[in-house]
Amino acid sequence: MPSVYGPVASWRLGHSLGIDLLLPPKTCTFDCVYCQLGRTINKVSGPEDLNEKVEVDTVVKDLKKMLKEVPLGSIDFVTFSGYGEPTLNLMMGKIIEKIRGLTGDVPIAVLTNASLVSRKDVRMNLKKADLVVAKLDAPNQELFEAINRPAKNLTLYSIIEGLKCLRQEANNRLTLQIMLFRSLRNVDNINEKTIEELARLALTIKPDEVQINTPTRPPSEGYVLPLRDRRLNEISRKFKEILAGVDVVTRISPRPPQAVEKRRVREEEILELLKRRPCRLGDLVKSLGGDEGSMRLLIDELIASNRITSVHFGEDVYYKVIVISDRNF
């Protein structure tokens, strides 16, 4: 499976080229109830639990190949994200150095669940990125366990202390990403008390930015529901009140990505993207380029050959790979 995919049209990072440092099946320290990748098949506590990982040379080879097709000038970010928690691969620091040699001034971001940030080796790797986007969904251990369903021995306390250390040690930009959701069960993070506690906890980390997000793709658990714009706005105002001086952005004010050049898109590119992120037809066109008619034909072919399927979420139709199994990789 290629370790480089996309580009992906991202609401905060524009057109972002994805780097995936893990091999299937989905490997993560968490099993978040809202995860767009479905349930975590391989839940691990740390890098020592990984059987296999993507090597430096593989990323270099895959990136060189991708850059023959996608002009560097059309990329806003190179982003570590994909099929699980990227900091599990301790070669990340070395890989960031190699990528810089190929992509020059293009900024590098890491999307992390921050579960391993209390480790010095992981912080050393994160320090090499230009931007770290770290997850924070709960203000206490009980809710953390209910929402993020972490592997054994992972505590919210160690995550918060690790993020504070990263803040002190690194000069790069730190964003906290908070996923807020309604629920048909007794698990959510949107009551007034939780919101206030989350904002006060975020303040102790002193981030540059807080992103207030809500699930926009089909979640792992069917009881998870997105917030309406009005509630997101109310919560955003509360965060701004408490986090004076910190940029607070919400999912409803996304930065529109620049248009990608029209080009011929291959089925494999669509599959590689859909393995990491379910997309609507329009998302695929915005991410990979091409025109809507050709993309529709490719989608129809992939559905007919049982490689992808469609899922309804809210008023939208998303496409995703059918079975996360060896056949798809």
Angle at 215 between CA 213 and CA 216, to 5 degrees: 105
Which of these ranges, 17-25, 31-39, 159-167, 309-317, lies near ligand SF4 under the rule CB under 6 A? 31-39
Q: Parallel, antiparallel, or unpaired: how do β-strands 108-112 and 77-80 relate?
A: parallel
3-class SS letters over 247-313: EEEECCCCCCCCCCCCCCCCHHHHHHHHHHCCECHHHHHHHHCCCHHHHHHHHHHHHHCCCEEEEEE
- Candidates 5, 9, 21, 30; binder of ligand SF4 (CB under 6 A) is 30
- Candidates 8, 21, 23, 35; binder of ligand SF4 (CB under 6 A) is 35
Q: What residues does 250 pair with on adjacent strands? A: 212
Residues 6+ apart with CB under 8 A from 39: 26, 31, 220
Which residues ranging from 87 to 126 are in contact with ligand SF4 (CB under 6 A)? 113
Nearer to ligand SF4, 113 or 175 (CB): 113
177 sits near ligand SF4 (criterion: CB under 6 A): no
226 secondary structure, DSSP code: P
302 sits near ligand SF4 (criterion: CB under 6 A): no
What's the closest the beta carbon of residue 220 comes to ligand SF4, in angstroms?
A: 7
- Candidates 4, 8, 19, 28; binder of ligand SF4 (CB under 6 A) is 28
Q: What residues does 112 pair with on adjacent strands? A: 134
CA distance 324 to 329: 8
Is 202 exposed, middle or buried (CB count within 10 Å of its CB: 0-12, 13-18, 19+)? Answer: buried
Nearer to ligand SF4, 86 or 289 (CB): 86
Angle at 93 between CA 74 and CA 22, to 5 degrees: 75
Q: Which residue has the tokens 């007919």?
A: 304
Which of these ranges, 3-11, 17-25, 29-37, 282-290, lies near ligand SF4 under the rule CB under 6 A? 29-37
The site map against ligand SF4 for 39-68 (x = CB under 6 A) is -x----------------------------
Which of these ranges, 35-43, 181-189, 210-218, 273-281, lies near ligand SF4 under the rule CB under 6 A? 35-43
85 sits near ligand SF4 (criterion: CB under 6 A): yes
84 sits near ligand SF4 (criterion: CB under 6 A): yes
What's the closest the beta carbon of residue 207 comes to ligand SF4, in angstroms?
A: 18
Residues that bind ligand SF4 (CB under 6 A): 28, 30-32, 35, 37, 40, 84-85, 113
